[in-house]
Amino acid sequence: MIGSRLKLARAAAGLSLRDLEHQLDGLVTAQAIGKYERDEMMPSSSVLIALAKALGVTEDYLLNPAEVELIAVEFRKQKLTSPRDDATVRARILSEVERYLEIEQIVHLDTHQAVLPKRRVVRTFEDVERAAAALREEWQLGDDAIPNLCELLEEKGIKICAISLPLKVSGVQAVVNTADREKLPVIVVNADHPGERQRFTVAHELGHLWLSAKEDLDIEAACHRFGGAFLLPADVLRRDIGKMRRAVTALELFELKRLFGVSAQAIAYRCKDLGIISQPAYAEIFRLFSRNRWRLDEPIRIPRESPKRFERLCIRALAEGLISESKASELLQKTVKEVVESMDKPPDGDDASPARV
């Protein structure tokens, strides 16, 4: 039966039943496609081939049973505006995670629970600061900048997906059930956001996975504080910029941005939170940013942090002969030519990450 896979692929493509009918040039009706999705009918081989081509998947993909299900999704900052957008994003998350689990299985890697300590109860922002420091210590990160946050979390068993989302949506936190009912945490980051915003979103969502807010502490505010503290520890900021300042210059903020991959505005906000600068000094910084039109487009671009582990595993499997070129093409959703050419080329030069110097 192909119902669940067909419906997932159609939703991931952002197509309605009527849209898919048009994509097929009237080969079958929307009503018939609906019956395929409900497993009331099976398409003929010619229709199956046409459906796979229209949806950008293989016939094998449609014929294989689904391995994962989405059991929870939380959108950060803004919800999606339409049920169709919501369904499309959910389907893309499932598709991404399912392909991720498949390649791990092919290269004989065990899918495991995220390597996170027991959930940390926080009642105050001071607790949040301590929690961020404790997690950095647990993971032996020291005080330096985290070169690639996506890579770090993927090493800890947290699946990271970069998906194009509406610009107002920063990220998504999801929980996925595997075929053996294991719950896997997934962080989805907006692929179209600047690198510094992506890093903060991922750190924020990490806070959601680990923190448990009590005593009326707002969890969103707590995770926001955690994101800043995890990416830029308080002791480091005080060492580099001072324990108490009457003012902080834009030059200093942008130098720290370059080093830690955190936006200058977020660094200014963190200075205010830690009492390094006063509220009036903080307001003056934002007046400067407004005058220079830096609020929406800051100088110094931090490269986007596209998760690369999945792609590396696919290329590894292809190089070792564990999968064919066509299978690699299906998993990576690239043409066979693009996959083959990528094997003998260095990664894109704009993928450099912030590092402490």
Confirm whether 95 is domain-assigned: no
Confirm whether 44 is domain-assigned: yes
Report d(CA 103, CA 314) in Å as an integer.
6
If we measure between CA atoms, which residue out of 29, 226, 33 comes closest to residue 124? 226
Q: Which of 1-5, 87-91, 261-265, 282-286 has the lowest mean pLDDT?
A: 87-91
Report d(CA 231, CA 251) in Å as an integer.
19
Confirm whether 32 is domain-assigned: yes
Instruction: For 143-201, write each residue's pLDDT tens digit.
Output: 889 999 999 998 888 888 888 887 778 887 777 777 666 777 888 888 999 999 999 99
Q: Which of 145-149, 279-283, 306-310, 316-320 has the lowest mean pLDDT?
A: 306-310
Residue 69 has pLDDT above 70, yes or no: no
If we measure between CA atoms, which residue out of 196, 186, 194 comes closest to residue 232? 196
Buried b (16+ CB within 10 A) or exposed e, 256-286: bbbbbbbbbbbbbbbbbbbebbeeebbeebe
3-state helix, strand, coil in the chain (%, to 5): 50, 10, 40
Residue 57 — very low, low, confident or very high, per pLDDT cuts 50/70/90? confident
Position 161 scores a pLDDT of 86
Range of the domain at 55: 1-66
Confirm whether 202 is domain-assigned: no
Residue 356 has pLDDT above 50, yes or no: no
Instruction: For 227-240, write each residue's pLDDT tens digit.
Output: 999 999 999 999 99
Confirm whether 77 is domain-assigned: no
Better-predicted residue by pLDDT, 311 or 86 = 311
Query: Is residue 151 a contact partner of residue 355, using CB atoms and an 8 Å limit?
Result: no
Better-predicted residue by pLDDT, 307 or 49 = 49
Residue 42 — very low, low, confident or very high, per pLDDT cuts 50/70/90? very high
Confirm whether 355 is domain-assigned: no
What CATH code is carried by the domain that includes residue 40?
A: 1.10.260.40
How many other CB atoms sit within 10 Å of the CB of residue 214?
13
Q: Domain tally for the chain?
A: 1
Report d(CA 289, CA 294) in Å as an integer.
5
Residue 20 has pLDDT above 50, yes or no: yes
Q: Please list, in sequence order, all residues whose beta carbon lies within 8 angstroms of the beta carbon of residue 156, skipping any fewer than 6 positions away.
A: 114, 115, 116, 139
Residue 39 has pLDDT above 60, yes or no: yes
Average pLDDT over residues 50-64: 83
Confirm whether 5 is domain-assigned: yes
Confirm whether 180 is domain-assigned: no
Cα 86 from chain centre: 16
> What does 156-192 look like in DSSP terms, one character per residue?
TT-EEEEE---TT--EEEEEEE-TT--EEEEEEEETT
Position 112 scores a pLDDT of 57
Position 17 scores a pLDDT of 93
Q: Which of 26-30, 109-113, 156-160, 243-247 has the lowest mean pLDDT?
A: 109-113
Residue 46 has pLDDT above 60, yes or no: yes
Position 351 scores a pLDDT of 46
Average pLDDT value over all residues in the chain: 86
